[in-house]
């Protein structure tokens, strides 16, 4: 266990010990039993300045009051000390049912999950005025909820404030238990995969003017926060940065997105459109919202490959399907403008995108087919250093003769290298290279 996690565990232990004393005092006073204090508020919380503790930093960063700390500790208890809330599972012997004033719901594993009613009981007991005062802490506009530390989850079939489950955000639980944010698992609930690469900027082969345009995006990643806040331009400029990469397949759009994330030390998530787009009304927006919310909380970069499927031109209202498709586009326009991070859209054809999206891009970067000089660099960088080229294989001539993008060149190199391995050789043959190029041309409907 790292020293930071050790310090954090000690701080959480102290906080949950205090929470249990608060719970015990409240129940004793509520039931008319002997209690050492007249009110749970008389029980002082632990010192919030535990050195090296993420929980202590959280308390100081948000300047939480004792009442707010009770809410946070109560929401954390099911994750780190679920037995601390078992007392709320007691049953009313007179009515032969759980105590209504305890609130809460029972989890599938049998544990107690607190609700807003549980929080109000701890903070105010059955004193109505005190409950009304305490309920202001449960307002959605309170900093505890605005800063995504806590959330209230309404229960099906109930619209009362007290029935909503009080839960700690996933980000808060990860921060306090792992010391870092947990990467989401790919699936229907989060339809995006993390994009990684092992290459460097030196291995990205683009024309100088394209690199200059990409440099603008890199500058935003480095200095965007300073521009909006320290320089005060946030009042005039919208949040976030939106960028379009367009050009033929294999010209470096995806690699550039991955390198931008690597430079900024941020995760890049490529949205899987097959899981996002749904035939059911409202499901596409719901799927996208989960991606946007996660990216906002963890400052991730979103990458929409083949963005035409989502961001295509709006159609005339000839059917109900067209109307709902246009609603999806309208949602995306609004959501992109509100997103505070970097969004990169990639498309083979710029003309396929709706003009309303194009107007909202801060940067539009064209990735053209590489010229002979760039193609020669791509060929030289692509082959393994352990292989040799047949004496008659001149990469300068190959680059001049065949117009291929970087992705296609890699496919040819893969084919040539596999053929060499089949021969138990390390020599790349010109005939194999010609055959590999012929296959790539065939894919594109071209002939040598």
Burial 25-51 (b: 16+ CB within 10 A, else e): bbbebeeeeebeeeebeebebbebebe
- Residue 263: CA atoms inside 13 Å, Cβ hemisphere, count? 18
* pLDDT greater than 80 at residue 13: yes
* 283 pLDDT tier (thresholds 50, 70, 90): confident
* Mean pLDDT, the chain, integer: 87
> 45-100, pLDDT tens digit by residue?
998 877 778 888 888 889 999 999 999 999 999 999 999 999 999 988 888 888 99
192 within 8 A of 270, measured Cβ to Cβ? yes
Give the Cα separation of 403 and 418 in Å (integer). Answer: 22
Nearest to 287 by CA among 274, 297, 269, 300: 274
134: which residues sit within 8 A by CB, 6+ positions away?
67, 119, 120, 123, 124
| Choice between 319 and 396, residue whose per-residue pLDDT is larger | 396
> 227-278, pLDDT tens digit by residue?
888 898 888 888 889 999 999 999 999 999 999 999 888 899 998 777 777 7
**Cβ atoms within 10 Å of 192's Cβ, excluding its own:** 26
Ordered domains of the chain (ranges, CATH): 3-177 (no CATH), 192-366 (3.40.50.300), 372-443 (1.10.8.60)
> 304-343, pLDDT tens digit by residue?
988 877 776 655 545 444 455 566 777 888 888 888 889 9
Give the Cα separation of 448 and 444 in Å (integer). Answer: 11
145 within 8 A of 151, measured Cβ to Cβ? yes
* pLDDT greater than 70 at residue 181: no
CA angle 286, 287, 290 (to 5 degrees): 90
* 279 pLDDT tier (thresholds 50, 70, 90): low
pLDDT at 317: 46
Question: From residue 268, how far is each of 7, 49, 258 by CA, in Å?
Answer: 31, 35, 6
Helix/strand number for the chain, H first, E second:
18, 14
First vs last C-alpha separation in the chain: 61
Lowest mean pLDDT among 25-34, 276-285, 345-354: 276-285
| Choice between 383 and 233, residue whose per-residue pLDDT is larger | 383
pLDDT at 242: 92
């Amino acid at each position: 266990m790292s020293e930071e996690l050790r310090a954090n565990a000690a701080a959480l232990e102290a906080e949950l010990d205090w929470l249990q004393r608060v719970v015990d005092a409240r129940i004793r006073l509520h039931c008319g039993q002997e209690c050492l204090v007249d009110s749970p508020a008389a029980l002082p919380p632990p010192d919030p300045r535990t050195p090296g503790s993420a929980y202590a930093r959280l308390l100081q960063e948000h300047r939480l009051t004792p009442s707010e700390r009770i809410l946070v500790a109560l929401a954390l208890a099911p994750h780190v000390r679920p037995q601390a809330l078992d007392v709320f599972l007691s049953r009313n012997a007179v009515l032969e049912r759980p105590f209504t004033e305890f609130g809460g719901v029972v989890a599938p594993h049998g544990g107690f999950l607190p609700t807003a009613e549980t929080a109000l009981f701890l903070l105010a007991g059955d004193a109505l005025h005190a409950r009304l005062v305490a309920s202001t802490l449960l307002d959605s506009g309170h900093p505890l909820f605005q800063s995504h530390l806590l959330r209230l989850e309404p229960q099906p079939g109930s619209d009362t404030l007290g029935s909503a489950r009080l839960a700690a955000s996933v980000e808060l639980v990860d921060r306090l238990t792992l010391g870092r944010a947990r990467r989401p698992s790919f699936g229907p609930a989060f339809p995006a995969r993390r994009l990684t690469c092992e290459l460097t900027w030196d291995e990205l082969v683009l024309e100088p003017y394209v690199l200059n345009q990409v440099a603008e995006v890199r500058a935003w990643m480095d200095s965007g926060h300073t521009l909006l806040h320290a320089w005060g331009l946030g009042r005039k400029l919208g949040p976030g940065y939106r960028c379009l990469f367009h050009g033929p397949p294999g010209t470096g759009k995806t690699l550039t997105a991955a390198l931008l994330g690597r430079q900024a030390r941020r995760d890049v998530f490529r949205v899987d459109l097959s899981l996002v787009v749904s035939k059911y009304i409202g499901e596409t927006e719901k799927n996208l919202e989960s991606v946007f919310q996660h990216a906002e909380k963890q400052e991730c970069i979103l990458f929409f490959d083949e963005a035409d499927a989502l961001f295509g031109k709006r159609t005339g209202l000839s059917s109900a399907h067209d109307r709902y498709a246009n609603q999806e586009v309208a949602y995306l326009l609004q959501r992109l403008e509100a997103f505070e991070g970097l969004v990169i859209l990639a498309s083979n054809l710029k003309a396929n995108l709706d003009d309303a999206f194009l107007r909202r891009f801060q940067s539009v970067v064209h990735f053209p087919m590489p010229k002979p000089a760039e193609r020669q660099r791509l060929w030289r960088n692509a082959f393994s250093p352990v292989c040799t080229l047949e004496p008659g294989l001149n990469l300068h001539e190959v680059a001049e003769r065949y117009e291929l993008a970087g992705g296609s060149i890699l496919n040819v190199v893969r084919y040539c290298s596999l053929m060499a391995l089949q021969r138990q050789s390390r020599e790349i043959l010109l005939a194999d290279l010609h055959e590999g190029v012929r296959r790539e041309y065939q894919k594109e409907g071209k002939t040598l």
